Structure 1
Amino acid sequence: MKLSICQIVSTEDVAANLAEIGRVAEIAAADGADLAVFPEFAMIGVTALTPEVLVQAQPLDGPFVTGLAQIAERVGIVIVAGVLEEIPGEARAYNSLVVLTPESGLVAVYHKAHLYDAFGFKESDSIRPGSLDGAITFDVAGVKVGVLTCYDLRFPEAARQHADVGVDVLVYPAAWVPGPRKEDHWQTLARARAIENTFYVAAVTQGPSLGTGGSLIVDPMGIVLGEIGERSGVTTAAILPGRISEVRQTNPSLANRRFTIAA
Protein backbone atom coordinates (compact mmCIF):
# COMPACT_ATOMS: atom_id res chain seq x y z
CA MET A 1 0.00 0.00 0.00
CA LYS A 2 1.24 3.50 -0.79
CA LEU A 3 0.47 6.37 1.58
CA SER A 4 0.77 10.10 0.93
CA ILE A 5 1.02 12.75 3.62
CA CYS A 6 -0.48 16.01 2.37
CA GLN A 7 0.73 19.14 4.16
CA ILE A 8 -1.50 22.14 3.52
CA VAL A 9 -2.31 25.41 5.27
CA SER A 10 -6.05 25.65 5.85
CA THR A 11 -7.76 29.05 5.84
CA GLU A 12 -10.98 30.43 7.26
CA ASP A 13 -12.67 29.70 3.91
CA VAL A 14 -14.14 26.19 4.19
CA ALA A 15 -15.03 25.96 0.48
CA ALA A 16 -11.52 27.00 -0.54
CA ASN A 17 -10.04 24.38 1.80
CA LEU A 18 -12.18 21.68 0.20
CA ALA A 19 -11.00 22.75 -3.24
CA GLU A 20 -7.36 22.64 -2.07
CA ILE A 21 -7.83 19.14 -0.68
CA GLY A 22 -9.21 18.08 -4.05
CA ARG A 23 -6.22 19.57 -5.87
CA VAL A 24 -3.68 17.96 -3.53
CA ALA A 25 -5.49 14.60 -3.54
CA GLU A 26 -5.00 14.50 -7.30
CA ILE A 27 -1.25 14.93 -6.77
CA ALA A 28 -1.25 12.06 -4.28
CA ALA A 29 -3.17 9.87 -6.72
CA ALA A 30 -0.66 10.72 -9.46
CA ASP A 31 2.07 9.52 -7.06
CA GLY A 32 0.29 6.16 -6.91
CA ALA A 33 -1.12 6.61 -3.41
CA ASP A 34 -3.89 4.38 -2.10
CA LEU A 35 -4.35 6.64 0.95
CA ALA A 36 -3.95 10.41 1.34
CA VAL A 37 -3.75 11.86 4.86
CA PHE A 38 -4.49 15.55 5.46
CA PRO A 39 -4.00 17.59 8.67
CA GLU A 40 -6.17 18.14 11.70
CA PHE A 41 -8.67 20.98 11.07
CA ALA A 42 -8.20 20.57 7.32
CA MET A 43 -11.76 21.89 7.09
CA ILE A 44 -11.01 25.27 8.66
CA GLY A 45 -7.81 26.99 9.75
CA VAL A 46 -7.88 27.34 13.53
CA THR A 47 -5.62 29.64 15.55
CA ALA A 48 -8.16 29.95 18.37
CA LEU A 49 -11.43 28.11 18.95
CA THR A 50 -13.52 31.25 19.14
CA PRO A 51 -17.35 31.33 18.94
CA GLU A 52 -16.96 32.58 15.36
CA VAL A 53 -15.00 29.42 14.49
CA LEU A 54 -17.23 27.02 16.43
CA VAL A 55 -20.37 28.25 14.68
CA GLN A 56 -18.89 26.91 11.43
CA ALA A 57 -18.89 23.31 12.71
CA GLN A 58 -20.78 20.96 10.40
CA PRO A 59 -22.55 17.61 10.80
CA LEU A 60 -21.02 14.55 9.18
CA ASP A 61 -23.61 14.70 6.42
CA GLY A 62 -22.86 18.38 5.79
CA PRO A 63 -21.28 19.90 2.70
CA PHE A 64 -17.65 19.51 3.74
CA VAL A 65 -17.65 15.77 4.48
CA THR A 66 -19.96 15.20 1.50
CA GLY A 67 -17.43 17.08 -0.61
CA LEU A 68 -14.60 14.91 0.72
CA ALA A 69 -16.55 11.80 -0.26
CA GLN A 70 -16.95 13.17 -3.76
CA ILE A 71 -13.21 13.84 -3.97
CA ALA A 72 -12.39 10.31 -2.80
CA GLU A 73 -14.72 8.87 -5.43
CA ARG A 74 -13.42 11.13 -8.20
CA VAL A 75 -9.74 10.67 -7.46
CA GLY A 76 -10.00 6.99 -6.51
CA ILE A 77 -8.11 7.00 -3.20
CA VAL A 78 -8.96 6.82 0.50
CA ILE A 79 -8.87 10.19 2.29
CA VAL A 80 -8.34 11.00 5.97
CA ALA A 81 -8.89 14.62 7.03
CA GLY A 82 -9.67 16.66 10.12
CA VAL A 83 -13.05 18.35 10.51
CA LEU A 84 -14.85 20.47 13.08
CA GLU A 85 -17.94 18.38 13.78
CA GLU A 86 -21.17 19.88 15.05
CA ILE A 87 -22.74 18.43 18.21
CA PRO A 88 -26.50 19.10 18.14
CA GLY A 89 -27.67 21.05 21.16
CA GLU A 90 -24.17 21.83 22.45
CA ALA A 91 -21.95 24.89 22.06
CA ARG A 92 -18.84 22.69 21.93
CA ALA A 93 -17.86 20.65 18.87
CA TYR A 94 -15.90 17.48 18.18
CA ASN A 95 -12.38 17.66 16.77
CA SER A 96 -12.88 14.77 14.37
CA LEU A 97 -11.04 12.74 11.78
CA VAL A 98 -13.09 11.30 8.96
CA VAL A 99 -12.14 8.40 6.69
CA LEU A 100 -13.67 8.27 3.21
CA THR A 101 -13.27 5.59 0.58
CA PRO A 102 -14.01 5.80 -3.15
CA GLU A 103 -16.54 2.96 -2.92
CA SER A 104 -18.40 3.67 0.33
CA GLY A 105 -17.87 7.31 1.28
CA LEU A 106 -17.64 7.87 5.04
CA VAL A 107 -16.52 4.62 6.72
CA ALA A 108 -14.97 5.75 10.04
CA VAL A 109 -14.90 8.71 12.42
CA TYR A 110 -12.47 9.38 15.27
CA HIS A 111 -13.17 12.03 17.92
CA LYS A 112 -9.96 13.38 19.44
CA ALA A 113 -9.48 11.84 22.88
CA HIS A 114 -6.66 13.93 24.39
CA LEU A 115 -7.51 17.61 24.23
CA TYR A 116 -4.78 20.22 24.01
CA ASP A 117 -4.87 21.79 27.45
CA ALA A 118 -1.18 22.64 27.35
CA PHE A 119 1.29 25.34 26.27
CA GLY A 120 -1.24 28.03 27.17
CA PHE A 121 -4.17 26.50 25.25
CA LYS A 122 -7.44 25.09 26.67
CA GLU A 123 -9.02 23.04 23.90
CA SER A 124 -11.46 21.41 26.33
CA ASP A 125 -13.31 24.72 26.71
CA SER A 126 -14.51 24.38 23.12
CA ILE A 127 -14.13 20.70 22.17
CA ARG A 128 -15.82 17.64 23.67
CA PRO A 129 -13.36 14.75 24.15
CA GLY A 130 -14.03 11.53 22.32
CA SER A 131 -14.93 8.30 24.06
CA LEU A 132 -12.34 5.66 24.95
CA ASP A 133 -14.09 2.79 23.20
CA GLY A 134 -10.98 1.41 21.53
CA ALA A 135 -8.86 1.89 18.44
CA ILE A 136 -10.56 3.14 15.27
CA THR A 137 -9.10 1.21 12.34
CA PHE A 138 -9.76 0.56 8.66
CA ASP A 139 -8.10 -1.43 5.87
CA VAL A 140 -6.51 -0.10 2.68
CA ALA A 141 -5.11 -2.53 0.13
CA GLY A 142 -4.53 -5.20 2.76
CA VAL A 143 -2.90 -2.82 5.27
CA LYS A 144 -4.51 -2.07 8.64
CA VAL A 145 -4.53 1.65 9.45
CA GLY A 146 -5.22 3.37 12.79
CA VAL A 147 -5.99 7.04 13.46
CA LEU A 148 -5.11 9.45 16.27
CA THR A 149 -4.91 13.24 16.36
CA CYS A 150 -2.18 15.77 17.20
CA TYR A 151 -1.83 15.94 21.02
CA ASP A 152 -2.56 12.19 21.15
CA LEU A 153 1.03 11.82 19.92
CA ARG A 154 2.26 12.65 23.42
CA PHE A 155 0.45 9.66 24.95
CA PRO A 156 2.24 6.36 24.22
CA GLU A 157 -0.64 4.29 25.62
CA ALA A 158 -2.88 5.42 22.77
CA ALA A 159 -0.38 4.21 20.19
CA ARG A 160 0.21 0.94 22.06
CA GLN A 161 -3.53 0.26 21.96
CA HIS A 162 -3.24 0.29 18.17
CA ALA A 163 -0.26 -2.06 18.22
CA ASP A 164 -2.34 -4.45 20.33
CA VAL A 165 -5.00 -4.69 17.61
CA GLY A 166 -2.47 -5.31 14.85
CA VAL A 167 -2.23 -1.93 13.14
CA ASP A 168 0.43 -1.68 10.42
CA VAL A 169 0.49 2.13 10.19
CA LEU A 170 -0.77 4.75 12.64
CA VAL A 171 -1.61 8.16 11.17
CA TYR A 172 -1.54 11.39 13.18
CA PRO A 173 -3.21 14.34 11.45
CA ALA A 174 -2.24 17.44 13.44
CA ALA A 175 -2.17 21.19 13.65
CA TRP A 176 1.06 21.13 15.67
CA VAL A 177 1.21 24.63 17.10
CA PRO A 178 4.59 26.41 16.85
CA GLY A 179 6.32 27.03 20.16
CA PRO A 180 9.46 26.35 22.22
CA ARG A 181 11.05 23.06 21.12
CA LYS A 182 7.79 22.04 19.43
CA GLU A 183 9.35 21.01 16.10
CA ASP A 184 11.84 18.83 17.95
CA HIS A 185 9.06 17.28 20.05
CA TRP A 186 7.05 16.55 16.90
CA GLN A 187 9.75 14.59 15.13
CA THR A 188 11.08 12.91 18.29
CA LEU A 189 7.65 11.70 19.36
CA ALA A 190 6.67 10.50 15.88
CA ARG A 191 9.85 8.46 15.62
CA ALA A 192 9.46 7.16 19.17
CA ARG A 193 5.91 5.94 18.53
CA ALA A 194 7.18 4.06 15.45
CA ILE A 195 10.21 2.57 17.19
CA GLU A 196 8.50 1.44 20.39
CA ASN A 197 5.58 -0.17 18.52
CA THR A 198 7.57 -1.39 15.51
CA PHE A 199 5.00 -0.14 13.03
CA TYR A 200 4.84 2.74 10.55
CA VAL A 201 3.82 6.24 11.65
CA ALA A 202 2.58 8.95 9.30
CA ALA A 203 2.38 12.33 11.04
CA VAL A 204 1.01 15.22 8.96
CA THR A 205 0.58 18.72 10.32
CA GLN A 206 -0.57 22.06 9.03
CA GLY A 207 2.22 24.01 7.36
CA PRO A 208 3.62 27.32 8.68
CA SER A 209 2.46 29.55 10.12
CA LEU A 210 -0.68 27.72 11.19
CA GLY A 211 1.45 24.73 12.19
CA THR A 212 5.12 23.88 12.42
CA GLY A 213 5.30 21.93 9.17
CA GLY A 214 7.74 19.05 9.08
CA SER A 215 5.24 16.30 8.28
CA LEU A 216 6.92 12.90 8.07
CA ILE A 217 6.55 9.17 7.45
CA VAL A 218 8.59 6.86 9.71
CA ASP A 219 9.25 3.16 9.25
CA PRO A 220 9.18 0.55 12.08
CA MET A 221 12.92 0.96 12.73
CA GLY A 222 12.58 4.74 13.10
CA ILE A 223 13.91 5.62 9.64
CA VAL A 224 12.31 8.72 8.13
CA LEU A 225 11.07 7.66 4.69
CA GLY A 226 9.74 11.03 3.64
CA GLU A 227 9.50 14.51 5.10
CA ILE A 228 7.91 17.81 4.10
CA GLY A 229 9.59 20.98 5.30
CA GLU A 230 8.11 24.45 5.63
CA ARG A 231 6.09 24.52 2.41
CA SER A 232 2.87 22.80 1.47
CA GLY A 233 3.39 19.59 -0.43
CA VAL A 234 3.00 15.84 -0.74
CA THR A 235 5.35 12.96 -0.04
CA THR A 236 4.54 9.32 -0.61
CA ALA A 237 5.98 6.07 0.75
CA ALA A 238 5.19 2.38 0.57
CA ILE A 239 3.78 0.71 3.70
CA LEU A 240 5.14 -2.85 3.68
CA PRO A 241 3.81 -5.35 6.25
CA GLY A 242 6.83 -7.52 5.46
CA ARG A 243 9.08 -4.75 6.74
CA ILE A 244 7.19 -4.81 10.05
CA SER A 245 7.77 -8.56 10.37
CA GLU A 246 11.45 -8.13 9.52
CA VAL A 247 11.96 -5.43 12.15
CA ARG A 248 10.12 -7.45 14.80
CA GLN A 249 12.51 -10.33 14.25
CA THR A 250 15.40 -8.01 15.12
CA ASN A 251 13.60 -5.93 17.75
CA PRO A 252 10.92 -8.13 19.39
CA SER A 253 10.07 -5.53 22.03
CA LEU A 254 6.31 -6.11 21.76
CA ALA A 255 6.77 -9.84 22.31
CA ASN A 256 9.21 -9.25 25.19
CA ARG A 257 7.10 -6.80 27.21
CA ARG A 258 5.81 -8.01 30.57
CA PHE A 259 2.62 -5.99 30.96
CA THR A 260 -0.24 -4.77 28.79
CA ILE A 261 -2.41 -1.66 28.57
CA ALA A 262 -5.67 -2.02 30.47
CA ALA A 263 -8.83 -1.65 28.40
Structure 2
Amino acid sequence: MKIALAQINTTPDVSANVSKVEDYVRSAAEAGAVLVQFPEATMRSFGPGLREDTRAHAADWQERMQALADEHGLTIVTGEFFAHGARVVNQLAVYSPAGQRVAYEKIHLYDAFGFRESDTVEPGSDIVTVDVDGVAVGLAICYDIRFPKLFAELSRAGAKLTLVSASWGAGPGKLYQWDLLARVRALDSNMIVSAVDQADPEVSGVQVPADAPTGVGGSLVVDPFGELIAQDDGQGEQLVVADIDFAVVDKAKAALPVLENARLGY
Protein backbone atom coordinates (compact mmCIF):
# COMPACT_ATOMS: atom_id res chain seq x y z
CA MET A 1 0.00 0.00 0.00
CA LYS A 2 1.30 3.44 -0.89
CA ILE A 3 0.34 6.25 1.48
CA ALA A 4 1.25 9.93 1.61
CA LEU A 5 1.80 12.15 4.65
CA ALA A 6 1.06 15.83 4.07
CA GLN A 7 3.29 17.72 6.49
CA ILE A 8 1.78 21.19 6.19
CA ASN A 9 1.09 24.28 8.26
CA THR A 10 -2.47 25.47 8.60
CA THR A 11 -3.67 28.86 9.84
CA PRO A 12 -6.96 30.39 11.06
CA ASP A 13 -7.85 31.03 7.39
CA VAL A 14 -10.06 28.04 6.56
CA SER A 15 -10.33 28.93 2.86
CA ALA A 16 -6.55 29.03 2.51
CA ASN A 17 -6.33 25.69 4.30
CA VAL A 18 -8.81 24.17 1.85
CA SER A 19 -6.68 25.35 -1.07
CA LYS A 20 -3.55 23.85 0.46
CA VAL A 21 -5.29 20.53 1.07
CA GLU A 22 -6.46 20.49 -2.54
CA ASP A 23 -2.88 20.91 -3.75
CA TYR A 24 -1.54 18.14 -1.53
CA VAL A 25 -4.35 15.74 -2.37
CA ARG A 26 -3.60 16.28 -6.05
CA SER A 27 0.10 15.58 -5.46
CA ALA A 28 -0.67 12.46 -3.44
CA ALA A 29 -2.92 11.13 -6.19
CA GLU A 30 -0.22 11.81 -8.80
CA ALA A 31 2.25 9.88 -6.62
CA GLY A 32 -0.06 6.86 -6.69
CA ALA A 33 -1.07 6.96 -3.02
CA VAL A 34 -4.31 5.28 -1.98
CA LEU A 35 -4.45 7.38 1.20
CA VAL A 36 -3.23 10.85 2.12
CA GLN A 37 -2.94 11.75 5.80
CA PHE A 38 -3.03 15.34 7.02
CA PRO A 39 -2.15 16.62 10.50
CA GLU A 40 -4.34 17.51 13.43
CA ALA A 41 -6.14 20.84 13.00
CA THR A 42 -6.03 20.69 9.20
CA MET A 43 -9.31 22.55 8.93
CA ARG A 44 -8.12 25.38 11.15
CA SER A 45 -5.14 25.88 13.42
CA PHE A 46 -5.52 26.10 17.16
CA GLY A 47 -5.98 29.58 18.60
CA PRO A 48 -8.58 32.27 19.28
CA GLY A 49 -11.87 31.97 17.40
CA LEU A 50 -11.69 28.19 16.97
CA ARG A 51 -15.24 27.47 18.14
CA GLU A 52 -16.75 30.28 16.07
CA ASP A 53 -14.91 29.23 12.91
CA THR A 54 -15.90 25.62 13.52
CA ARG A 55 -19.57 26.56 13.62
CA ALA A 56 -19.20 28.63 10.45
CA HIS A 57 -17.12 26.28 8.31
CA ALA A 58 -17.36 22.63 9.46
CA ALA A 59 -20.21 21.58 7.16
CA ASP A 60 -18.66 23.16 4.06
CA TRP A 61 -15.29 21.65 4.95
CA GLN A 62 -16.72 18.15 5.18
CA GLU A 63 -18.52 18.54 1.87
CA ARG A 64 -15.33 19.68 0.14
CA MET A 65 -13.20 16.88 1.61
CA GLN A 66 -15.66 14.25 0.42
CA ALA A 67 -15.73 15.82 -3.04
CA LEU A 68 -11.92 15.66 -3.18
CA ALA A 69 -11.91 11.99 -2.18
CA ASP A 70 -14.47 11.25 -4.88
CA GLU A 71 -12.64 13.29 -7.51
CA HIS A 72 -9.21 11.77 -6.94
CA GLY A 73 -10.27 8.25 -5.96
CA LEU A 74 -8.26 8.06 -2.75
CA THR A 75 -8.87 8.12 0.99
CA ILE A 76 -8.34 11.49 2.67
CA VAL A 77 -7.65 11.82 6.41
CA THR A 78 -7.90 15.29 7.94
CA GLY A 79 -7.86 16.89 11.36
CA GLU A 80 -11.16 18.66 12.01
CA PHE A 81 -13.41 20.12 14.69
CA PHE A 82 -17.12 20.27 15.28
CA ALA A 83 -19.00 22.40 17.78
CA HIS A 84 -20.25 20.76 20.97
CA GLY A 85 -22.01 23.26 23.20
CA ALA A 86 -19.48 25.75 24.51
CA ARG A 87 -16.60 23.54 23.37
CA VAL A 88 -15.49 21.68 20.25
CA VAL A 89 -14.64 18.06 19.52
CA ASN A 90 -11.20 17.37 18.04
CA GLN A 91 -11.60 14.80 15.27
CA LEU A 92 -9.56 12.81 12.79
CA ALA A 93 -11.94 12.25 9.88
CA VAL A 94 -11.55 9.68 7.11
CA TYR A 95 -13.20 10.29 3.74
CA SER A 96 -13.35 7.28 1.44
CA PRO A 97 -13.82 7.51 -2.33
CA ALA A 98 -16.91 5.36 -1.78
CA GLY A 99 -18.57 8.34 -0.09
CA GLN A 100 -18.19 7.25 3.53
CA ARG A 101 -16.99 9.50 6.35
CA VAL A 102 -15.76 7.98 9.63
CA ALA A 103 -14.38 10.12 12.46
CA TYR A 104 -12.36 9.44 15.60
CA GLU A 105 -12.77 11.85 18.52
CA LYS A 106 -9.58 12.55 20.44
CA ILE A 107 -9.60 10.72 23.76
CA HIS A 108 -6.52 12.10 25.53
CA LEU A 109 -6.63 15.89 25.74
CA TYR A 110 -3.45 17.94 25.89
CA ASP A 111 -3.42 19.23 29.44
CA ALA A 112 0.36 19.39 29.64
CA PHE A 113 3.34 21.70 29.11
CA GLY A 114 1.21 24.67 30.15
CA PHE A 115 -1.68 23.97 27.76
CA ARG A 116 -5.27 23.12 28.79
CA GLU A 117 -6.98 21.57 25.78
CA SER A 118 -9.81 20.33 28.01
CA ASP A 119 -10.88 23.93 28.63
CA THR A 120 -12.15 24.17 25.05
CA VAL A 121 -12.34 20.58 23.76
CA GLU A 122 -14.74 17.77 24.66
CA PRO A 123 -12.96 14.38 24.91
CA GLY A 124 -13.97 11.30 22.97
CA SER A 125 -14.26 7.83 24.46
CA ASP A 126 -14.17 5.20 21.69
CA ILE A 127 -11.37 3.68 19.65
CA VAL A 128 -11.96 3.69 15.89
CA THR A 129 -10.65 1.59 13.03
CA VAL A 130 -11.49 1.93 9.35
CA ASP A 131 -10.99 -0.32 6.36
CA VAL A 132 -8.65 0.99 3.66
CA ASP A 133 -8.13 -1.37 0.73
CA GLY A 134 -8.90 -4.35 2.94
CA VAL A 135 -6.53 -3.28 5.74
CA ALA A 136 -7.78 -2.29 9.20
CA VAL A 137 -6.39 1.14 10.07
CA GLY A 138 -6.50 2.71 13.54
CA LEU A 139 -6.82 6.41 14.28
CA ALA A 140 -5.17 8.58 16.93
CA ILE A 141 -4.48 12.27 17.49
CA CYS A 142 -1.38 13.98 18.86
CA TYR A 143 -1.23 13.56 22.67
CA ASP A 144 -2.78 10.09 22.25
CA ILE A 145 0.67 8.89 21.18
CA ARG A 146 1.84 9.07 24.80
CA PHE A 147 -0.70 6.43 25.89
CA PRO A 148 0.36 2.91 24.84
CA LYS A 149 -2.85 1.15 25.86
CA LEU A 150 -4.79 2.96 23.12
CA PHE A 151 -2.43 1.51 20.53
CA ALA A 152 -2.56 -1.92 22.11
CA GLU A 153 -6.36 -1.87 21.90
CA LEU A 154 -6.27 -0.73 18.27
CA SER A 155 -3.94 -3.61 17.47
CA ARG A 156 -6.20 -6.06 19.31
CA ALA A 157 -9.10 -4.67 17.26
CA GLY A 158 -7.25 -5.80 14.13
CA ALA A 159 -5.40 -2.66 13.06
CA LYS A 160 -2.16 -3.26 11.17
CA LEU A 161 -1.52 0.45 10.69
CA THR A 162 -2.40 3.37 12.95
CA LEU A 163 -2.46 6.94 11.70
CA VAL A 164 -1.42 9.55 14.25
CA SER A 165 -2.04 13.15 13.22
CA ALA A 166 -0.64 15.94 15.36
CA SER A 167 -0.13 19.62 15.86
CA TRP A 168 2.77 18.96 18.22
CA GLY A 169 3.76 21.66 20.66
CA ALA A 170 7.27 23.00 20.22
CA GLY A 171 9.86 23.13 22.99
CA PRO A 172 13.12 21.60 24.22
CA GLY A 173 13.30 17.93 23.31
CA LYS A 174 9.83 17.83 21.77
CA LEU A 175 10.91 16.76 18.26
CA TYR A 176 12.97 13.95 19.79
CA GLN A 177 10.02 12.86 21.93
CA TRP A 178 7.70 12.79 18.90
CA ASP A 179 10.11 10.63 16.93
CA LEU A 180 10.77 8.31 19.87
CA LEU A 181 7.10 7.88 20.74
CA ALA A 182 6.16 6.94 17.18
CA ARG A 183 8.82 4.23 17.16
CA VAL A 184 7.93 2.91 20.60
CA ARG A 185 4.19 2.77 19.85
CA ALA A 186 4.94 0.69 16.77
CA LEU A 187 7.16 -1.62 18.82
CA ASP A 188 4.81 -2.12 21.75
CA SER A 189 1.67 -2.67 19.67
CA ASN A 190 2.97 -4.83 16.78
CA MET A 191 1.73 -2.26 14.26
CA ILE A 192 2.98 0.13 11.65
CA VAL A 193 2.62 3.73 12.82
CA SER A 194 2.25 6.63 10.41
CA ALA A 195 2.76 9.87 12.34
CA VAL A 196 2.24 13.18 10.55
CA ASP A 197 2.74 16.51 12.27
CA GLN A 198 2.17 20.07 11.25
CA ALA A 199 5.38 21.43 9.73
CA ASP A 200 7.66 23.62 11.82
CA PRO A 201 6.35 27.13 11.03
CA GLU A 202 9.78 28.66 11.56
CA VAL A 203 11.17 26.42 8.84
CA SER A 204 8.27 26.81 6.42
CA GLY A 205 7.90 30.55 7.02
CA VAL A 206 4.16 30.37 7.71
CA GLN A 207 2.63 32.79 10.20
CA VAL A 208 0.70 30.85 12.85
CA PRO A 209 -1.04 31.88 16.09
CA ALA A 210 1.24 32.46 19.04
CA ASP A 211 0.82 30.48 22.25
CA ALA A 212 -0.69 27.44 20.52
CA PRO A 213 0.72 24.01 19.59
CA THR A 214 1.58 24.54 15.93
CA GLY A 215 3.94 21.74 14.93
CA VAL A 216 7.59 20.75 14.79
CA GLY A 217 7.61 18.56 11.65
CA GLY A 218 9.38 15.22 11.89
CA SER A 219 6.69 13.15 10.17
CA LEU A 220 7.58 9.47 9.83
CA VAL A 221 6.32 5.97 9.16
CA VAL A 222 7.73 3.20 11.37
CA ASP A 223 7.40 -0.57 11.18
CA PRO A 224 6.72 -2.86 14.19
CA PHE A 225 10.45 -3.43 14.69
CA GLY A 226 11.01 0.32 15.06
CA GLU A 227 12.62 0.65 11.63
CA LEU A 228 11.91 3.65 9.44
CA ILE A 229 9.82 3.14 6.33
CA ALA A 230 9.78 6.84 5.42
CA GLN A 231 10.60 10.18 7.04
CA ASP A 232 10.42 13.88 6.25
CA ASP A 233 13.38 15.68 4.71
CA GLY A 234 13.74 18.58 7.09
CA GLN A 235 10.89 20.03 9.12
CA GLY A 236 9.19 22.23 6.52
CA GLU A 237 6.09 21.67 4.41
CA GLN A 238 6.33 18.61 2.17
CA LEU A 239 4.68 15.41 1.03
CA VAL A 240 6.22 12.20 2.39
CA VAL A 241 5.36 9.05 0.42
CA ALA A 242 5.68 5.59 1.95
CA ASP A 243 5.35 2.12 0.41
CA ILE A 244 4.05 -0.27 3.06
CA ASP A 245 4.35 -4.05 3.02
CA PHE A 246 2.07 -5.39 5.74
CA ALA A 247 3.88 -8.74 5.86
CA VAL A 248 6.18 -7.13 8.43
CA VAL A 249 3.28 -6.95 10.89
CA ASP A 250 2.84 -10.73 10.89
CA LYS A 251 6.60 -11.17 11.22
CA ALA A 252 6.66 -8.88 14.24
CA LYS A 253 3.75 -10.64 15.93
CA ALA A 254 5.52 -13.98 15.48
CA ALA A 255 8.94 -12.77 16.62
CA LEU A 256 7.90 -10.33 19.34
CA PRO A 257 4.37 -11.15 20.58
CA VAL A 258 4.24 -8.37 23.16
CA LEU A 259 0.45 -8.20 23.31
CA GLU A 260 0.13 -11.94 23.84
CA ASN A 261 2.75 -11.77 26.58
CA ALA A 262 1.34 -8.67 28.25
CA ARG A 263 0.27 -8.68 31.90
CA LEU A 264 -0.98 -6.13 34.46
CA GLY A 265 -3.92 -5.06 32.32
CA TYR A 266 -1.95 -3.87 29.29
- The alignment's TM-score, normalised by the length of structure 2, stands at 0.91
What's the counterpart of residue 209 of structure 2? Answer: none
Counterpart amino acid of 1:252? P
2:185 maps to: 193
Match of 2:108 in 1: 114
Specify which of 220, 224, 240 is matched with residue 245 of structure 2: 240
2:217 is the counterpart of 1:213: yes
Q: Specify the alignment match of 1:100 in structure 2.
A: 95
Equivalent positions of 1:39-54 (< 5 A) are 39-46=39-46, 48=47, 50=48, 52-54=49-51
Distance in 1 of aligned mates of 2:109 and 2:57: 20
Q: What letter is aligned with 1:111? A: E
Gap change, CA 1:242 and 1:59, over 3 Å in 2: farther
CA-atom RMSD in angstroms: 1.5
Q: Deviations over 1:83-117 (max 9, x none)?
A: 12112xx11011111110111142x1111111100
Quickly say closer, same or farther: Cα 1:59–1:97, change in 2 above 3 A: farther
Confirm or deny: 8 A CA contact 1:217 1:224 kept in the other structure: yes
Return 5+ residue gaps in structure 1 as ranges. Answer: none
Unaligned runs of 5+ in 2: 202-213
Q: Number of aligned pairs?
A: 253
Closer, same or farther: CA 60–112 of 1 in aligned 2, 3 Å: farther
Tell me if 1:18 matches 2:21: no
Which piece of structure 1 moves more, 178-187 or 228-237? 228-237
Q: Does residue 83 of the first structure (1) align with residue 75 of the second (2)? A: no
Q: 1:153 aligns with which of 121, 131, 145?
A: 145
Instruction: State the alpha-carbon separation in 1 of the partners of residues 249 and 241 from structure 2.
Output: 18
Query: Partner letter of residue 132 of structure 2?
Result: V
Partner of 1:258: 263
2:153 alignment partner AA: Q
Contact 1:169-1:239 within 8 A present in 2 as well: no
Give the conservation status (yes or no) of the 8 Å contact 1:98–1:109: yes
1:121-143 superposed Cα distances (whole Å, 9 cap, x missing partner): 00111001112x3x201111121
Task: Establish whether residue 224 from structure 1 lines up as the match of residue 228 from structure 2.
Answer: yes
Distance in 2, matches of 1:61 and 1:179, equals: 30
The partner residue of 2:121 within 123, 127, 130 is: 127
CA contact (8 A) 1:4 1:28 kept: yes
The answer as to whether partners of 1:82 and 1:96 remain within 8 angstroms in 2 is yes
Shift of 1:259: 4.8
Q: 1:120 to 1:253 in 2, by over 3 A?
A: same
Residue 127 and residue 69 in structure 1: after superposition, are their counterparts in 2 closer, same or farther (change >3 A)? same
1:195-244, CA deviations, whole angstroms, 9 ceiling, x for partnerless residues?
11121000001011231001111011111111112111111222322111
Contact 2:186 2:223 in 1 (8 A): yes
Cα deviation for residue 249 of structure 1 reads 2.3
Q: Does 1:33 align with 2:33?
A: yes
TM (norm. structure 1) is 0.92
